[in-house]
Amino acid sequence: QSTKDQCFEIWNSVCSRSVWQPLGFLFLFNLLQVQNAAWREYLRVVLGFTSQQLNYLLVASYIFLFLGTISYKYYFLHTSWRRVYQFCILLNGILTATQLLLIKQKTFGLSNYLFALGDDAIAEFVSGIQFMPGSIMMVNLCP
């Protein structure tokens, strides 16, 4: 097939209501995801995390992001993507609230670093689960 035919086929697919509504949701959902750049600065300045500790947080977060995508394959693949997003949004809301616990120094006896590590790692794990339905949808959209 020519490129023009492939583009026409993709456009016809996107015009289908069963495709554009989920795609619109994914677009708006990802558009409204605001990364909290001030959080890293808070960890560095107020809590005194070193650059090395912040890098360890980043590496652990990426490992848990990968584990989240793998867990989607084994545990959530046959679950409705709506349920996956509902579960992930709820869990992300709870995890975001745990940052308030760290700010107020209520870390249940854990060091600030371990508490922040768990918070970041679990949040990325949830993001990994949440990432997969959109990726699968995009792959299925390709001709």
For residue 25, what is the enclosing H or E element? helix 17-31
Q: Which two tokens stand for residue 62?
A: 């990426």
| Global confidence as pTM | 0.79
Cα separation, 100 vs 58, whole angstroms? 20
Asked if residues 93 and 123 have their Cβ atoms less than 8 Å apart, the reply is: no
Contacts of 93 (CB under 8 A, 6+ apart): none
Q: Which two tokens stand for residue 37?
A: 């750049």
pLDDT at position 1 is 79
Kindly report, residue by residue over 117-130, the tens digit of the pLDDT.
Answer: 888 889 899 989 98
Cα separation, 85 vs 24, whole angstroms? 14
Q: Report H helices in 32-111.
A: 37-45, 51-71, 81-103
Kindly report, residue by residue over 62-80, the tens digit of the pLDDT.
Answer: 999 999 999 999 999 999 8
